[in-house]
Amino acid sequence: MRTRNIKMVVSLLMMVAVLVTACGPMATEAPPEPTATVAPVMKEFEGQTVSVIATWGGDEQESFMAMVAPWEERTGASVEYEGTRDLNAVLTTRTSGGNPPDIAGLPGPAVLEQFASDGHLVDLSTFMDMNTLRQQYDQSWLDLASFNGGLYGLFTKVAVKSLIWYNPQAFEAAGYTIPETWDELIALSDQIVADGTTPWCVGLESGAASGWPGTDWIEDIMLRTAGPEVYDQWRMHEIPWTDSAVRNAWETWGTIVGNAEYLNGGTTGVLATNFGESPYPMFQDPPGCYLHRQATFIEGFITDQFPDLEAETDYNYFAFPPIEGDGMPILSAGDLFGMFNDTPAARSLIEWLASAEAQEIWARRGGFISPNRNVSADVYPNPLIGQAAELLTMADTVRFDASDLMPTAVNDAFWSGILDYVENPANLDGILQTIEATASEAYGE
């Protein structure tokens, strides 16, 4: 009798223990109230943290942390940074779980629009001084981040994409000159092949985002062969992917990626090489390739691998040449910050990130072009980046990376299509039909 009672008590206790453990997280769910200001000379947000999530890791993460350090110093708050390669999944999970980060660095306006239209993002115009913003930022940057009359994102780090990088030493040694038209570019490629070497380094591998460097090629070509108006129609899906203008752009790219003789490592090399490592062979002796088309940020990858190389003398770029006519449109892209939680500390951080003072910090560290007009060209670590920034402001036609503006499902299909095309260029019709099927559905909603 007695032992049975003890057994019962023990089992009851165990059950209670299990229940309490199970409920543990719930009990602590209420966030601790910010500690009241006790000391008289306390900094504004002493002890508070602002969580930031973005795709940056390594050098870029260090640069971002350097960028927020003065703000942390001034306000007493700290930034809790989390870098992820799978930003979309993490953000979707955290927003639907009611636990979004305070601020996120988003890789393009399409993702921003998604979260804005779901009502997860805070309209920045509710607390930021729009007049100051308009003075500091070109209207086009603000427009790209505006939806339904609200400003939901802030561009801080932009890139110029229409660049072809080369090794001036190798060019000089071989007696090559910079091509000024697409035809000259192809003639140069043929010349390099005839000389027994390989003209191009192309690398499409990028984890779950593999294929994206190819989308930039298509966009640059499309801007030049079909013109900016058709480019806009294409990215808004007013013309289908099976349209001859789109097809033509792919085929034009095919003259390079469809020709194994042009490519370092051949077709498989293109698919298997990481985009960041792909320009390395250009600086070998003898050079594994002579040309590499990539945005401004590739400089960081080059100097990380070869710290002794000097800008302009050891590596340089020329603008992607015109194809039809003499138009030199520039393709740009950028990361923007969106705010998920409207807290005073997060507001303060966003305002700091928007400032020229903050952006100069990262600009000085390299791999960063600021869209803020007040950031002076002198802060860039070498003239190349300053010149690229100039290309952006001086160009007659600037277009934002179309794939970054497309719905994520279409963008993903675009990436896949790029890989399929490189592996099997003969299947172009099937590839475009597949992307079109995804697009007509995604835009139809």
Partner 1 sequence: MRRVRYLPWLYAGPTLLLLILFLVYPSLDTVRLSLLGPNSETFVALENYKYAFTTNEMWTAFRNNAVWLILFTVVTVAGGLIIAVLLDRVKYEPVAKSLIFLPQAISFVGAGVIWKFVYDYNPNVGLLNAILTGLFPNADPVGWLVNSNVATYALITTGIWMWTGFAMVILSAAVKDVPQEIMESARIDGANEWQLFWRITVPYIGSTIAVVTTTMIINVLKVFDLVYVMTAGRYQTNVIANQMYKELYINRQNGRASAISVILLVAIIPVMLFNIRRFQEQEAMR
Query: In whole angstroms, how close is the CB of 113 to partner 1 at the nearest point?
Result: 12
Q: Does residue number 404 form part of the binding site for partner 1 (CB under 8 A)?
A: no
The smaller minimum CB distance to partner 1, of residues 354 and 431, is found at 431
The smaller minimum CB distance to partner 1, of residues 101 and 329, is found at 101
Q: Does residue number 88 form part of the binding site for partner 1 (CB under 8 A)?
A: yes
> Which two structure tokens, joined as six digits, stand for 205?
């591998």
Across 69-96, b (16+ Cβ under 10 Å) vs e yields: eebbeebebbbebebeeebbebbbebbe
Q: Does residue number 427 form part of the binding site for partner 1 (CB under 8 A)?
A: no
> Which two structure tokens, joined as six digits, stand for 227?
């013109």
Among 105, 107, 179, 269, binds partner 1 (CB under 8 A): 269
- Could you tell me which of 326, 325, 302 has the C-alpha nearest to residue 315? 302
CB proximity list for 84: less than 8 A, separation 6 or greater: 53, 54, 55, 90
Q: Does residue number 10 form part of the binding site for partner 1 (CB under 8 A)?
A: no
User: Which stretch in 203-211, 213-221, 236-244, 327-335 sits in contact with partner 1 by CB under 8 A?
Assistant: 203-211
User: Which stretch in 82-90, 149-157, 188-196, 304-312 sits in contact with partner 1 by CB under 8 A?
Assistant: 82-90
Dihedral angle computed from the Cα positions of residues 432, 438, 441 and 445, in that order, rounded to the nearest 10 degrees: -120
Judged by CB under 8 A, the number of residues near partner 1 is 37
Q: Does residue number 408 form part of the binding site for partner 1 (CB under 8 A)?
A: yes
Whole-angstrom distance, CA of residue 201 vs CA of residue 287: 10
Q: Does residue number 258 form part of the binding site for partner 1 (CB under 8 A)?
A: no
- Could you tell me which of 163, 192, 194 has the C-alpha nearest to residue 176? 192
Among 186, 409, 425, 427, binds partner 1 (CB under 8 A): 409
Among 100, 179, 265, 329, binds partner 1 (CB under 8 A): 265
Across 205-236, b (16+ Cβ under 10 Å) vs e yields: beeebbbbbbbbbbbbbbbbbbbbebbebbbe
Q: Does residue number 445 form part of the binding site for partner 1 (CB under 8 A)?
A: yes
Dihedral angle computed from the Cα positions of residues 134, 328, 105 and 274, in that order, rounded to the nearest 10 degrees: -170
CA-atom Rg of the chain in angstroms? 26
Query: In whole angstroms, how close is the CB of 8 to partner 1 at the nearest point?
Result: 7
**Parallel, antiparallel or unpaired: strands 49-54 and 291-293:** unpaired
Among 2, 22, 149, 378, binds partner 1 (CB under 8 A): 22
User: Which stretch in 69-77, 260-268, 348-356, 362-370 sits in contact with partner 1 by CB under 8 A?
Assistant: 260-268
- Contact at 8 Å (CB) between 274 and 127? no
User: Max Cα separation, the chain?
Assistant: 102
Whole-angstrom distance, CA of residue 367 vs CA of residue 381: 9
Q: Does residue number 84 form part of the binding site for partner 1 (CB under 8 A)?
A: no
Q: Does residue number 260 form part of the binding site for partner 1 (CB under 8 A)?
A: no
Query: In whole angstroms, how close is the CB of 96 to partner 1 at the nearest point?
Result: 9
**Position of tokens 């804005």?**
116
Q: Which residues within the stretch 287-326 sit at the binding site for partner 1 (CB under 8 A)?
A: none
User: Which stretch in 10-18, 149-157, 242-250, 379-387 sits in contact with partner 1 by CB under 8 A?
Assistant: 10-18
The smaller minimum CB distance to partner 1, of residues 95 and 296, is found at 95
The smaller minimum CB distance to partner 1, of residues 205 and 219, is found at 205
Whole-angstrom distance, CA of residue 210 vs CA of residue 225: 25
Please give the DSSP secondary-structure letter assigned to residue 126: G
Q: How far, rounded to the nearest angstrom, does the alpha carbon of residue 142 sit from its chain's CA centroid? A: 17
The smaller minimum CB distance to partner 1, of residues 179 and 281, is found at 281
Whole-angstrom distance, CA of residue 217 vs CA of residue 215: 5
Interface residues toward partner 1, by CB under 8 A:
4, 7-8, 11-12, 15, 18-19, 22, 86, 88-89, 92-93, 114, 205, 207-208, 210-211, 265-266, 268-269, 271-273, 408-409, 412, 415-416, 419, 423, 434, 442, 445
